[in-house]
Amino acid sequence: MIFPQTITSAAATAFLAFSLGVDAFGTPCVYQQYKCGYNLVATQVYNNTELTTAVNMTGPIPPLATNQLLQVLYRCTDTNGGLAGNSFCIAGCMTMLGNSDDQCAL
């Protein structure tokens, strides 16, 4: 019978298509959470391209050098790990303990 083989092939193709569509980051940030750029890169596997895109979509933040992207406070915009640049932390970005949001140093 060709019919069961066709169903198996279709299921395998669908599985492969969905598995290739996974976002570039390994663990998305939590919705409405604020995180420093260096934490997003170090612990959640975001990359400089994703950080640059988030900053460029935020009007008040000027274009930044790659090392400055790590000192930006980012807001997680959705449950899929989307980011928006919240603010560039001139005095540095600080990791807060526990599940607290990160903050800019004053």
| Over residues 36-56, mean pLDDT | 90
Confidence of residue 27 (pLDDT cuts 50, 70, 90): low
Q: What string of DSSP letters covers the chain?
A: --HHHHHHHHHHHHHHHHHHT--SSSSPPPTT-EEEHHHHHHHH---HHHHHHHHHT-TTSPP--HHHHTTEEEEE-STT--EEEEEE-TT-EEPPSTTPPPEE--
What does pTM read for this prediction? Answer: 0.71
Confidence of residue 29 (pLDDT cuts 50, 70, 90): confident
Q: Which two tokens stand for residue 64?
A: 């930044």
Confidence of residue 102 (pLDDT cuts 50, 70, 90): very high
pLDDT at 80: 87
Q: Where are the domains of the chain?
A: 24-104
Per-residue pLDDT tens for 48-81? 999 999 999 887 788 899 999 999 999 999 988 8
Is pLDDT of 20 > 60? no
Contacts of 96 (CB under 8 A, 6+ apart): 102, 103
